[in-house]
Structure 1
Amino acid sequence: MRRIRYQVACSLDGFIAGPEEDEFDWITPEPSFDFEALHAQFDTLLMGRRTYEIVHSMGESFPGKQVIVASRSLRQEDHPDVEVVSEELEARVRELRAQDGRDIWLYGGGDLLSQLLAWNLVDTVEPAIIPILLGSGVPLLASHGVRRRLAFIRHRVYPSGMVLLEYEVQKSADGNS
């Protein structure tokens, strides 16, 4: 079974975007981080509408990757290069996990993370902690009352001060928080 991994850049105080709309200029490049190796671990990206709109507006593309966008407002015919899932998201994600392939990258989105955690569908949380305090912004996890214990797997410290953490998500017995 494929794993769903939430791999995201995050400020030390827990924000994945700054206080200004879609602000991420604080994410400094780490020259020694191997982005090609990271991307090679995934063949599918799962993101929410807001994250998709940001990367789409920047002209970002993910050649060779299947991109799934969870959205109730986007129309599939307006976005032919991605799969828009507006209904039955839990069933679609479970189907993706059961397929053969590489891991699935939960690509940004604290709201989507919260929902998938509630369904016991997130296997790892892997924040790349950027050495900055933002004070406010978009939180790593939306405040929907989901609580999960995490088991530490590993960490790596980079010359810039970025720290990549990896935790396994402990599943709840009933699928609820």
Structure 2
Amino acid sequence: MTGKRKVVLFIAASLDGYIAAKDESLEWLFKVEGEGDNGYSEFYDTVDTVLMGKKTYDWLMNHELEEFPYKNKECFVFTRSQIQGTEDVTFINDDVTTFTNQLKEQEGKNIWIVGGGGLLHSFLKEKLVDEMILTVAPTIIGNGIPLFKEGDYQLDLSLKGTRNFNQFVELHYCVEK
């Protein structure tokens, strides 16, 4: 693949804009009837690098997974601490903008921002996100962890396409630069 790599947000949210309940539960998400894997495999094949925050990494590690879910991808976890990497992840405490721009200049597939809200906020504020694929669940949970934090930034988006997976609706946007 040639050309500049894109940073893509691929995430599910409730209709009222939450990515998890206050207790970090995703139970509401799994109650919705989807179709297949709701486009996950198709998207997953377009990326070779995964970025996430330490809180999201810790959430994954606390859910007794059989194996790390992004084993065949290069995975970076942003943290403020000095932590030794594992065979699956490299912990990064570099500047988000500098590090991401260096990744975007390397050869490869797209780069996926897995989460969470704090890291995503930094990426949006610094205009590092190129595309957003948001899958909306027909559920209102009332409160929880918001997809977008309040802040002093604005992004203009262009709708690239929509799809539905039974009860889920996927909205695919390009970020106008």
TM-score normalised by L of structure 1: 0.88
Q: Aligned-pair RMSD on alpha carbons?
A: 1.6
Contact kept? 2:85, 2:91, Cα under 8 Å: no
1:40-51 mapped onto 2 (5 Å cutoff): 40-51=45-56
1:136 to 134, 138, 143: 143
1:17 to 16, 20, 25: 20
Which residue identity does 1:7 align to in structure 2?
F
1:4 to 2, 7, 10: 7
Task: Report which stretch shifted further, 106-115 or 43-52.
Answer: 106-115
Cα deviation code 1:50-93 (max 9, x no counterpart): 111111222243121011111103x3316453111112222111
Aligned equivalents of 2:85, 2:45: Cα separation in 1: 28
Contact kept? 2:47, 2:109, Cα under 8 Å: yes
Aligned equivalents of 2:22, 2:124: Cα separation in 1: 25
Q: Secondary structure, in 3 states, of the residue corresponding to 1:127?
A: strand
TM-score normalised by L of structure 2: 0.88
1:99 paired residue number: 106
Cα deviation code 1:94-135 (max 9, x no counterpart): 111111111111102122122112222100111100110010
1:163 to 159, 169, 172: 169
2:154 paired residue number: 147
Contact kept? 2:71, 2:88, Cα under 8 Å: no
| Residues 141/76 of structure 1: CA separation in 2 closer, same or farther (3 Å cut) | same
1:42-81 mapped onto 2 (5 Å cutoff): 42-58=47-63, 59=65, 60-73=68-81, 75-77=82-84, 79-81=86-88
Q: Secondary structure, in 3 states, of the residue corresponding to 1:113?
A: helix
* Aligned-pair identity (%): 29
Which residue identity does 1:115 align to in structure 2?
S
2:43 paired residue number: 38
Q: Secondary structure, in 3 states, of the residue corresponding to 1:126?
A: strand
Q: Which runs of 4+ in 1 moved over 6 A?
A: none
Which residue identity does 1:113 align to in structure 2?
L
Aligned length: 168
Unaligned runs of 5+ in 2: none
